[in-house]
Amino acid sequence: MKYVFGPVRSRRLGRSLGVDPVPLKTCNWNCVYCQLGRSRPMVATREAWVPAEDVVAEVRQTLEARGDGIDWITFAGSGEPTLHAQLGWMLASVKEMTEIPVAVITNGVLLHDPEVRAALRGVDAVLPSLDAGTDALYRKVVRPHPEATFERLVQGLTAFRQEFTGYLWVETMLIRGLNDDEAALEQLAHVLEPIAPNEIHLNVTVRPPSEPWVAPPEAAALDRAAEILGRVAPVVVPSGRGVFVLDEGRDPVEQILEVIERHPLPERVLSEGLAHLGEATRAALFAQLEATGRAQRVERQGEPSWVARSAFFS
């Protein structure tokens, strides 16, 4: 499969079938915490990055072959999905073919564009990002394309909330020493209030961040964030670990590649998911993974992680 991956077990969305409508790091942000490496170059134009018909055909084929037990179909993956010019058509086509709820994980900055808001209006959940309550901090955390301004992000989120009747779950990545102090959190709460999300999901880096200095907040800072942002909406705190589940019927190397090309994972997490295979088989699988030329092992947060070969992590 080229555009569909998983299902992966997601803390927020249960067994989630991923749909990836853009090539690796097609993004208008270059977040310091990005699990996909650096955006080189950043992209701000909406284009038909991959054939929309092929994406929809893969979703249909996957649902026919192994659609049981999927909780959500989630558009996300290698970059910013709203940069695909035919996202609205793809989402509508998938909604027509199944009762399974559809979610879009987005940085949200293109929601200022009425066409993008219309594209997302019919889905069941949208998960935009908001990591900062000021322009200066926003630029430090997500290092946006010049067109992807903080003002546009906030305007777009506010306008979308007024039009969208589904679930709006704001994602906030907390980074130690950057956006986890009380003043930054109060400013964020202030900006979030009129947006009125249904939930706020606090995240910490459990996958290798783009920048090696990025670290998760102390437990006390996480508690403080939950308390301050909890005044705006119910807060979901991170579980602190990723999960990899092997589907016994399919090639394990291909399955690992499908996941790590969109959601890089610490080797520890992969090893837990492969524990039943024994140490020698696991080591052989990691060697095969490297031999495909599609994966690389990088050191982040004091441990090795597996990421796409083409991602920039150096």
Binding positions for ligand SF4, rule: CB under 6 A = 27, 29-31, 34, 36, 39, 79-80, 107, 142
Cα–Cα dist 48/52, whole Å:
7
CB of 132 within 8 A of CB of 138? yes
CB of 159 within 8 A of CB of 111? yes
Least Å from the CB of residue 132 to ligand SF4: 13
The amino acid sitting at 56 is V
Least Å from the CB of residue 249 to ligand SF4: 30
Q: Look-up: residue for tokens 């589907």?
A: 247
Indicate the residue among 207 and 282 with the shorter CB distance to ligand SF4: 207
Indicate the residue among 217 and 264 with the shorter CB distance to ligand SF4: 264
Least Å from the CB of residue 291 to ligand SF4: 27
Indicate the residue among 52 and 311 with the shorter CB distance to ligand SF4: 311
Least Å from the CB of residue 175 to ligand SF4: 12
Indicate the residue among 23 and 278 with the shorter CB distance to ligand SF4: 23
Least Å from the CB of residue 129 to ligand SF4: 6
Indicate the residue among 32 and 229 with the shorter CB distance to ligand SF4: 32
CB of 83 within 8 A of CB of 49? yes
Least Å from the CB of residue 274 to ligand SF4: 26
Cα–Cα dist 85/105, whole Å:
16
Indicate the residue among 47 and 193 with the shorter CB distance to ligand SF4: 47
Indicate the residue among 39 and 305 with the shorter CB distance to ligand SF4: 39
Indicate the residue among 216 and 252 with the shorter CB distance to ligand SF4: 216
Least Å from the CB of residue 142 to ligand SF4: 6
